[in-house]
Structure 1
Amino acid sequence: MWLIGARGSVATTTVAGAAALAAGLHPPTGMVTETPPFAGSGLPPLDGLVFGGHDTHACPLPKRAEALAEGGVLPHGLPAAVRAELAAADAAIRPGGPQSGDTRSDEELIADFAADLTAFVREHGLARAVVVNVASTEPAPGPGDDRLPPSSLYAAAALRAGCPYVNFTPSTGLHHPALAGPAAASGLPYAGRDGKTGQTLLRSVLAPMFLQRALTVRAWSGSNLLGGGDGAALADPAAAAAKNAGKERVLADTLGTVPEGEVHIDDVPALGDWKTAWDHIAFDGFLGSRMILQTIWQGCDSALAAPLVLDLARLAAAAHAAGMSGPVPGLGFYFKDPDDGPSGLSEQWRDLLTLAERLGADG
């Protein structure tokens, strides 16, 4: 697994979690690929995963894990128990970019990132590497931008190095027009975008309920309070707009229209890696009766995301081994803004089970 944003909270939780599961220290709670329907799907074993990545930050993974344990994200004692695995992953992290003052062209950056990937596979004798973007959300490119955004540079490098690609963020990644041709020609499987971990996961369950019960949704408003790196990144209105686009798509695809109301994202540094999401849904019932449903979701984004990241990397690796290419059917289950397939969670679940059967048959 090659993680973009490899020293962030999600990546650190992913590496520490994989090591803990492989050692039998904790059960695989939240990992769909560890449930019975996937037992025969030919997925890479958890103890066979090797980690590396790109990041622009220098804080070592063992130290980052200790900070997460202090914040209650990781269990106390786990960073020490898996310190060797964290150190090994940290040793395989390469400088990301472009950083301030970087004079390399897009082509030079892509070539350098692809070379890092190729060296990682060669040095560790790997069957394959799956690139997963778990970096902070970036603003969507503007109409006058003549450079690829960082997420697209990494995505292009994955294609060049022959690596399956997963975009767990709302950032552009493979969705840039300049990468449509290379992605189609690569013959590689890919999946994205924006992991569905909390508020939108709940929306993908509730929206079909209103539709199937013929209840008219008049307004759907929401608010997110979060801290940490995501909170700081999403304080940028352009990054927040990119994040909210996926939240709106779930409602639009399911209900056929976007109800009145907006989602607000507020940076609350004191919350650290924890998040509170609130939704207020106004709907009409029989004879025009006015009703309201309110939901509150409180959780840790990193702990919600990490098992999904492991699931996606294993499924993408198995899809690659099976010769699949393009958007992988069934992986929309994990995303707010999936590359293809339905928006309702139950339909997405059926598609994911179909993928598990296909991988088992191919294997």
Structure 2
Amino acid sequence: MTKQRIGIWIIGAWGGVSTTAAVGLSALQKGTTGASGLVSENPFFEKLNLAKWDQFVIGGHEIRDTSFVDAAKHFSETSGVFHPALLQSVESELKAFDQNVKPGTLIHVGDTIRSLAGNSVKQYDQETLQDTISRLSADISEFQQKHDLAHVIVVNLASTEPPVEESAKTLSLDELKQALASAETSPVPASTLYAIAAMHAGCSHINFTPSAGTDLPALVELAEEKNVLHAGRDGKTGETLMKSVLAPMFAHRNLNVMSWVGHNIFGNLDGKVLDDPVNKSNKVHSKDHLLTEILGYKPQTLVSIEYIESMGDWKTAWDHIHFQGFLDTKMSLQFTWQGTDSILAAPLVLDLVRFTEREWRRGDRSGVMSHLSSFFKSPMQATTPEFERQYQQLEEWANKVSEESQSS
């Protein structure tokens, strides 16, 4: 039996994480890289019969004028991540993926993201909001038909938007449909417009960014109406991952955390966008709320994110934890996390696509996939903020899917 082909449609297709995911997928398809960093390659998940790497094809929306090939070469030159021989071996695959990328939208993206836009997307500046949604949705449907894809999973990897307007957080689906009559009356950002277009095309949706995406009541309703799966928000890759592992230790040992300071520096495109205080506020909130949820009280906290251009995609996070132990003795723990932002994030994107495809394949499934909470800083409908418990929920889901498969 011929294996079904699956589409990965990326919002922000030529960004650092997206390009790394495309290079990684191509290398996996050619068998020239190992499985390190891929959760879905853990032996525990072999029983799921996950989609094979050669079943996937990439396309997407982008606002900049570049390509996977050019972005990967720039990435290699500025961050030293990709070996030139690796890029040469996957160049033909990247060029094929490039043919599937279409111009996105600049509606409600904010001034900083708009400043990155190329000429290809600016031709749609006079487009109505409804025409934009129809165009974005048609792009995905055309991609699905062109490549004879059984299903398409849309992944938001675009730059972090400014915080969503408060009015959008209370809209019902009916109210949102009325508000979408024009860009002037619509309070939702571009990430949500992309999500609406994805759902209209019948696609699953993953929001790997701090942007609103589907994390609004109206979009939760729309997912149920369209019978589609979705999950998010904001990939948990580095410092916050450490917080979700270490904070429970302090709570379980009854050590009082008085303060937790996290200082982050990096120099990629995401860092450049987050250099805007408005965009940064969205990311800081996503990184900062976790401690209160785990500890049950709010210590003094400080999260700083600074753009240091020379660092490229390399990220350093330094954390200082000041805590109180027995006999009111004050002590401290410090750690430094250093890694490349995109290398940490890209395999998780590929994992999420595989797990989402498997949940879609179960049939008659829609709504928020809360069992994927371990992948996100601000997971939708999560029942616990602790990484270990979240990961147990992923394993419990895998056991359930495996049992269903064996009994059918």
Map of 2:51 onto structure 1: 44
1:39 is paired with a residue whose SS is helix
Counterpart of 1:289 (choices 316, 329, 352) is: 329
Alignment of 1:101-180 (within 5 A): 102-143=125-166, 146-147=185-186, 148-180=188-220
What is the CA–CA distance in structure 1 between the aligned matches of 2:340 and 2:288, rounded to whole Å?
22
Counterpart of 1:88 (choices 92, 96, 100) is: 96
What is the CA–CA distance in structure 2 between the aligned matches of 1:10 and 1:311, rounded to whole Å?
13
Q: How many residues align?
A: 363
Would the aligned equivalents of 2:220 and 2:368 in 1 still touch at CA under 8 Å?
no
What is the CA–CA distance in structure 2 between the aligned matches of 1:115 and 1:258, rounded to whole Å?
46
- Structure 2: gaps (5+ residues): 1-7, 107-120, 168-183
Map of 2:42 onto structure 1: 35
The one-letter amino acid paired with 1:356 is: A
Map of 2:15 onto structure 1: 8
Map of 2:379 onto structure 1: 338
What is the CA–CA distance in structure 2 between the aligned matches of 1:362 and 1:54, rounded to whole Å?
36
1:264 is paired with a residue whose SS is strand
Would the aligned equivalents of 1:329 and 1:355 in 2 still touch at CA under 8 Å?
no
- The C-alpha deviation readout for 1:194-228, integer Å capped at 9, x for no partner, is 00000000000010000000000001111110111
What is the CA–CA distance in structure 2 between the aligned matches of 1:37 and 1:184, rounded to whole Å?
30
Would the aligned equivalents of 1:233 and 1:239 in 2 still touch at CA under 8 Å?
yes
Q: CA RMSD in A?
A: 1.4
Counterpart of 1:348 (choices 376, 387, 390) is: 390
The one-letter amino acid paired with 2:48 is: S
How far residue 132 of structure 1 moved from its aligned partner, in angstroms, is 0.4
Q: TM-score, normalised by structure 2?
A: 0.86
Map of 2:264 onto structure 1: 224
Would the aligned equivalents of 2:288 and 2:301 in 1 still touch at CA under 8 Å?
no
The one-letter amino acid paired with 1:23 is: K
2:19 is paired with a residue whose SS is helix
What is the CA–CA distance in structure 2 between the aligned matches of 1:151 and 1:141, rounded to whole Å?
10
The one-letter amino acid paired with 2:388 is: S
Taking every aligned residue pair, what percent have the same amino acid on both sides? 41
How far residue 177 of structure 1 moved from its aligned partner, in angstroms, is 4.2
The one-letter amino acid paired with 1:113 is: L
Are 2:32 and 1:25 aligned? Answer: yes
How far residue 42 of structure 1 moved from its aligned partner, in angstroms, is 2.8
How far residue 349 of structure 1 moved from its aligned partner, in angstroms, is 1.1
Map of 1:328 onto structure 2: 369
Would the aligned equivalents of 1:226 and 1:267 in 2 still touch at CA under 8 Å?
yes
The one-letter amino acid paired with 2:153 is: V
2:323 is paired with a residue whose SS is strand
Name the stretch that deviates more: 305-314 or 96-105.
96-105
How far residue 152 of structure 1 moved from its aligned partner, in angstroms, is 0.5
Name the stretch that deviates more: 130-139 or 182-191.
182-191
What is the CA–CA distance in structure 2 between the aligned matches of 1:105 and 1:358, rounded to whole Å?
45
Q: TM-score, normalised by structure 1?
A: 0.97
What is the CA–CA distance in structure 1 between the aligned matches of 2:233 and 2:204, rounded to whole Å?
14
1:197 is paired with a residue whose SS is coil
How far residue 234 of structure 1 moved from its aligned partner, in angstroms, is 0.5
Would the aligned equivalents of 1:274 and 1:301 in 2 still touch at CA under 8 Å?
yes
What is the CA–CA distance in structure 2 between the aligned matches of 1:59 and 1:313, rounded to whole Å?
24
- The C-alpha deviation readout for 1:266-311, integer Å capped at 9, x for no partner, is 1111111111111111110001000111111111010000100000
How far residue 151 of structure 1 moved from its aligned partner, in angstroms, is 0.4
How far residue 65 of structure 1 moved from its aligned partner, in angstroms, is 1.0
